[in-house]
Structure 1
């Protein structure tokens, strides 16, 4: 494991022990999962937000996909992770707060939201609040990109239906701990999100 990844894993592990509800993952996202997430960005995407940025595994892939640092906003609730993100990604806007805060800062101007949040473990109301905030900030053809360790879609079917969303599933990324699948959510053609 390269020195940087080893240091990140150590910091990540300490935060799991101190704040298990905030972190809720076994390890940082693998480069393979991050690349799969970044491949789901629309080819014309310029403005992106990331939910649950952690230590920046997905952030690196988003920037490598061509998103300019000043066009990327990260949302992270863990103070230690935010400090690490600020040091690692100068020029990227970092919000030390919940994903739902996106609705107050943007309105229809984003091309994509990339999420590392543990949606599957959240109650329906929280899922609805997060996705409603995301789709408030997304342009009409914007996408919400989410991974899950589960075998089924991370967003409850009733929430997706209420928000007028459809989902596309990618192949499973086996080189991740644990293996993960990426889902891309969009407004249905007659959706209300």
Structure 2
């Protein structure tokens, strides 16, 4: 069985157990992975990845030259966290809710990427995730978030309250389903 087939099986089983937490029956494709990490490289330093699942975006970060030991993988699902630890032994894997990021990630980071299904979360939860993430991001750093929706998955009220701005940086029709990527950063 190939890695892609095994990853699809992991995702499908996790989706069956909790569709709102996983939000997709299949992992993201290479087209989306390359798009979400295209502004990140070895010069970025530490990168926080929220909801890495099977590690599709993690592999894209490694292809971009980010050192594995500079990656912090925050995965709430124990079934995925164990898999990530085996696949990326030099990365720091944290099995926890991303809304509590500020409690377990003391080091500053140069960027964050997110595979979290923000559209299926309450605004209060999205606020906690973004507040915690930006408390750990250095000056000028950004969070890269993808969505299957046609607009930014972060409610305007949350962006305004945290003094953040969101810009769509690209889309890919070569992902199933098609996806859009946003750069979320501190308002200037």
Equivalent runs, 1:6-25 vs 2, <5 Å: 6-25=5-24
Take 1:148 and 1:21, find their aligned partners in 2: how far apart are those partners?
A: 14
Any residues of structure 2 matched to 1:66-77 within 5 Å, and which?
A: 66-77=65-76
* 8 A Cα contact 1:40 1:145, kept in partner: no
* TM-score of the superposed pair, with normalisation by structure 2: 0.94
TM-score (structure 1 length as normaliser):
0.92
Question: Counterpart of 1:50?
Answer: 49
* RMSD across aligned positions (CA): 1.5
Runs (4 or more) in structure 1 with deviation over 4 Å come to none
Distance in 2 of aligned mates of 1:37 and 1:178: 15
How many Å separate the matches in 1 of 2:183 and 2:156? 14
Partner of 1:65: 64
Comparing 154-163 and 8-17, the one that deviates more: 8-17
Secondary structure of residue in 2 paired with 1:113: strand
Query: Structure 2 unaligned runs (5+)?
Result: none
Are the aligned partners of 2:20 and 2:120 in contact in 1 as well (CA < 8 Å)?
no
Gaps of 5+ in 1: none
Instruction: Please give the residue correspondences for 1:35-114 in structure 2 after superposition, counting only pairs within 5 Å.
Output: 35-41=34-40, 44-106=43-105, 109-114=108-113
